Chains A and B, each alone.
Chain A
Amino acid sequence: MDNANNTGSDKSKLFWRSIGDYNNNPKYIELKQHEFPDGVSETIDIKSMSPLSRRKFIALLSATAAFAATGCKDYPDKGEIVPYNNQPEEITLGKANYYASTYSDGSGILIKTREGRPVKVDGNPDHPVNSGHISAASQAGILNLYDPERLREPAIVKNGKLIKESWNNIDSEIIKALESATDKGKEIAIVTNSIKSPSLSRLLKDFIEKYPVAKAYTYDLFNSDNKDKAWELSYGSGKFPGVSIDKANVILALESDFLHSDENAIGNMKMFSRRRDVDSPTEFSRLYCVEGPMSLTGANADYRFRLSPEYQLEFVLSLLNETLFKGRSNLLLGFQVEGLLTKYSLKAFSEKHDIPLNKLKGLVNDLVKNVASSIVIAGDSLPVEVHIAVNLLNEALGNTKLYMNDSLPVVHFENEPGSDIGNLVRKMNAGNIEILIHLDSNPVYHLPLDYGYSGALSKVPFVVSLTSSENESSELSKYILSINHDFESWGDFQLRNSYLSVQQPVIAPLYNTRQKEAVLLNWINGNKNYSEDIYHKYLMNRWQNEVFPQFNSAVSFKKFWLSAVHDGVINLKTMPLDIPKFEESALDNLNKNYNKSGFTLVLMKSASIGDGKYSNNGWLQELPHPVSKVVWDNYAAIAPATAKELKLSNDDMIEVESSGKKLELPVLIQPGMAEKLIAVELGYGRTKAGTIGTGTGFNAGLLMTKSSGISNWIYTGATVKITGNKHQLVSTQEHHALDDEFVKEIHLKRDLVKEGTVEDFIKHPEFLKEHGHDFLYDENHEVNSITENREYTGVKWGMAFDLNKCTGCGACIAACNVENNIPVVGKEQCSNGREMHWIRLDRYYSGTPENPVVSNQHQLCQHCDNAPCENVCPVVATTHSDDGLNQMAYNRCVGTRYCANNCPYKVRRFNFFDFRENLEDGYFQQDSLQLLHNPEVTVRSRGVMEKCTFCIQRIMEAREEATKDGRKLKGSDVETACQQACPAEAIVFGDLNDKDSKVSRLRDHKLGYHVLELLNVRPNITYIAKLRNTHSEEI
């Protein structure tokens, strides 16, 4: 193949973007050679149009408008200015207020409000885990507050229709029913997701005290029960404490996506990237990944081995055998274990699974060499026995020191022994449950079908759903009670015992809703004296009696409480826990054999829409999957070799049958997958989720069973049938392809992605520059340009992406969407290549489809000094500023798209429609969503070009502040939205003229390079070449 792309250290390395690219598929090559795919601008069929030409129509229209305007007597009228009657003290119109709060998943947030309405969410900088960063899903979660399909008032369901009813009537009916159930001695069941709030847990206990027949049942679609159970078996008690990843020199991740879909992904990413600092290359950690599907963690691994998850136990036992009995560990174990382990050898394992033995030996060497400073992490989806074996391996390697023993997970509310969901369903069927309350949960969608939950629900006379929008469970309820969004609620949350975070409302409830805790509290109080702040008072009361005394504080409770609300989090003192002795009895569980016939099915967590909670969130549906870049869908990911064997290609539908359950799914050929493996994400295919979420993707939860799998998420013995149907999957990667071959004829090399190894860098720090063509910034080399050289005397803005730190999670894209009012365009428009994201996170594969190496690279407006877009604009709508910004004036733009055509990076986006109006009959144009817009950024209409502005609104705000303080604007005053969001702190923004700034240090860094610098466009975005921490010589 001749479209070779050279890397810094390895000239033979090829980069390819998809299987089509790798195989030189003619369709794909065709696609690559156009800026937009065919038909992108041709959706108009002339014959079907009205005979009145556009020109004539516009002429008539403007004439009418002109006459109307001249005829209009009152043209100078400019409307009204309506000030407050009594302005709140903290509000200055036009200035943002920030409030610390907490999401109900426990992450600490800082909410930006303008004129009283939340417009942006970021991490709370004071929060010990989040420290200013939240995930892409949490960033875009603000859309859920303004979702037009939120329930606006409580209702009774009659014949499938919602009849609105007052809170007072509904509450008294429910209380009557609660009392009669108590009198009859029949059970009141509360079904909820696991409780993360100590006050809610207390409230539930109060509820049970008031109505003693009540019982609460918790469940989660994704949980770490297996990990925790293994911990309990291995160490007697407690839960898995989590790992200080930043202390590990070597990390071995087994089927674990700890950097992305794990519950603590933000904290993990922060710790992981801390060990990827190019200024201390000797401190780089080494990440090994052994997994079946291609996860984002796998994409970031230094070494990645493919392994179907049912073989993980075998692998860990082979590793144990290798480390325990070769004099490499001091751990002494009984003979029995020894007998078990000797059956497994690394050599046999490597032959059986076609994993190079020398690399596995390298892994063992690394683990043994880094005793007490390496860690093995097993994914939540793996069964208990693998977790036990991993616990033992960590014990053997002395890695228990890396457990976070000073900050332990907390359980607030535990199901009574023996009262799990299965038990509940049995009682429902037996008619023992009188009232069932869905407390912000959706078990009908989440629970495996073989529980028979929805059938059993019909036997419960009185079903109440507390939910913010209609869902599958509320559909089968008698009462639907509309509840508040997190931003309208009070609360407290605690994930770990070292801190406690507070949730405060930042906007009054938009509709006639109540927070779920207040509803329960009102039922406890018998519907007497309800006021909006009852839960607020309850919360403060609990804090005063239970939290405040722990501090022995000299200040009054009121001050203490207000400071906790202000900070959003308080730190608690903890005693570090000594990890107890490993209980050998746990090892009795290790003797497990799995059925290994047919295909293996892995059900995974979708990092963007979670368990379906964010299904109706267009921003998240349109956030490209971090590895496959697919939008608006889930799919069955299969390995290229498996696809070849089954003669499948992308978009073919297959019927997957597992444990007697069938589901038809579209196929996506995913490089790097283990063979004979099908990986599907959960959370899609909702049947009642609103206009955006309903029917988007496929509900892989239908393949789940109670107990037939290796774990809830891993099933062997699945079969695949080709159905012959097609389903179009849309991904954002194939279009906007930068055509290597075409430009190659003009320039010899393009060097889009440059990479090296840590060893290269330590031995030859200049290796990148030696290979590259860095003559642009070489004073002796004169380059001609048609653009005038500008002098930048003041601040000159620039950005740098440290590709060592970036994991490719997409939080930057989500943050940019919220900050810059970026519209949702829908699946159909995405398939035309019209997505509007200002940041494109390119993913390149290199190596073979079986074992690809993945490289990520952000592409966004490079704000080139010699910007080629500027000199082609016929109306001067895009120009250059004195501080080095490539500006876009929407009002001048007439939509010729010459600039996009001339942009070598393909980062300009054109509004082919007014997308807010275009999608689903103006779904995103509804009133409530108008409140979401950032008032500092224009909402672009149809027919104009747009692109990254380097968050000009933030630059201008910093400038205003500087002027107010009478000082000069500094580069460090400005933080762009993507930079603020990045959990890995991989994005740096600042003043290039300030030689001490971080961004100019990175620009001059030995690993710094620019993309397409041979074009002499002089981009202002620097990329720091990724260093892979691999061994240089084979072991």
Chain B
Amino acid sequence: MKKTVLDYALKIRLPITVFVILAAFVLTYYAARPERDGIGYTPEQPIDFSHKLHAGDMQIDCKYCHTGADQSRHAMVPPASTCMNCHSVAKKDSKEIMKLAEYFNKKHSIPWKRIHKVPDYAYFNHSVHVNKGIECESCHADVSKMEKVGQMESFTMGSCLNCHRAPEDHMPYLKGKIGKGPENCFACHR
């Protein structure tokens, strides 16, 4: 049987084209799915610390531990000494607290796994946002309900700009209290 041009197109050209298009979609989807951005990332921490217990049930203010939140660019993960303010007395015999006490007494730092990260080339500042009245959960989701903290919101430039452009849509509790955020490059990149 003589091969026609049509045969060639149907048997070879078409499958290849379809495959390439599909592969492109699959790859793009795979690369762009929310987990790639870190959403859902909930690592095991060196100490099984529960935000739900501390921030939720016991109602400890975020800024009791994250003291930099309204002061500085970093919210700051607290030093072991802050934990020991209570745990030198409270629940001393729990397994996790014994781990903590060991870190503290050996003067070692606790290597917490990082969950939320803005890339190095973006200069995010906690204090400006917190001092404008933005609640922590607007970016970090409701940590007080999380036994184990994970990333729930997107940390892309797009998600930053969404809020900067229309803050009231994303944070209705600030209606009338907040203006638009800066959109110029230097606001974050320098």
Contact = CB atoms under 8 A, between A and B. Distances in A.
Given A92-B71, A94-B72, A94-B73, A79 B114 contact: yes
A85 B110 CA distance: 7
Nearest to B38: A76
Contacts of A597: none
Contact of A963 (B36, B104, B127, B187): B127
B74 A85 contact: no
B185 interface: yes
Nearest to B129: A963
Most buried by A among B41, B108, B131, B185: B185
Given A887-B186, A890-B121, A936-B123, A83 B79 contact: yes
Contacts of A75: 36
A57 interface: no
Contacts of B109: 82-85
A81 B186 contact: no
Interface size on A, as a range, is 35 or more
A78 B112 contact: no
A883 B115 CA distance: 34
Interface string A875-889: 000011111010111
B92 to A, nearest CB: 18
Given A93-B72, A94-B72, A80 B114 contact: yes
Contact of A956 (B108, B111, B112, B123): B123
Interface in B110-146: 110-117, 121, 123, 125, 127-128, 131-132
A550 to B, nearest CB: 41
Contacts of B74: 93-94
B11 interface: no
Contacts of B3: none
B107 interface: yes
Contacts of A93: 68, 72, 74, 76
B49 interface: no
Interface in A971-1021: none
A350 interface: no
A937 interface: yes
B71 A83 contact: no
A82 B108 CA distance: 10
A77 B68 CA distance: 24
Given A80-B112, A83-B76, A92-B67, A937 B190 contact: yes
B189 A890 contact: yes
Contacts of A81: 77, 112-114
B81 A82 contact: no
B83 to A, nearest CB: 10
B22 to A, nearest CB: 17
A83 B117 contact: no
A882 B72 contact: no
A960 B127 contact: yes
A887 B107 contact: no
A69 to B, nearest CB: 9
A937 B187 CA distance: 13
B78 A95 contact: no
B43 interface: yes
A891 B121 CA distance: 8
A964 B189 contact: no
B81 A92 contact: no
B80 interface: yes
A875 to B, nearest CB: 12
A952 B77 contact: no
Contacts of A95: 71-72
Interface in A871-914: 879-883, 885, 887-891
A75 B41 CA distance: 10
B69 to A, nearest CB: 11
A516 to B, nearest CB: 31
Q: Which 10 A-B pairs have the closest CB atoms?
A: A881-B184, A94-B72, A94-B73, A84-B79, A87-B79, A78-B114, A86-B81, A887-B185, A889-B185, A76-B41
11 contacts: A76-B41, A77-B113, A80-B113, A83-B80, A83-B112, A84-B79, A94-B74, A887-B184, A938-B121, A938-B189, A964-B131
Given A83-B80, A966-B131, 18 more contacts: A70-B30, A78-B41, A78-B114, A80-B113, A80-B114, A81-B114, A83-B78, A86-B79, A94-B68, A95-B71, A879-B184, A881-B184, A887-B186, A888-B185, A949-B186, A953-B190, A959-B128, A963-B127
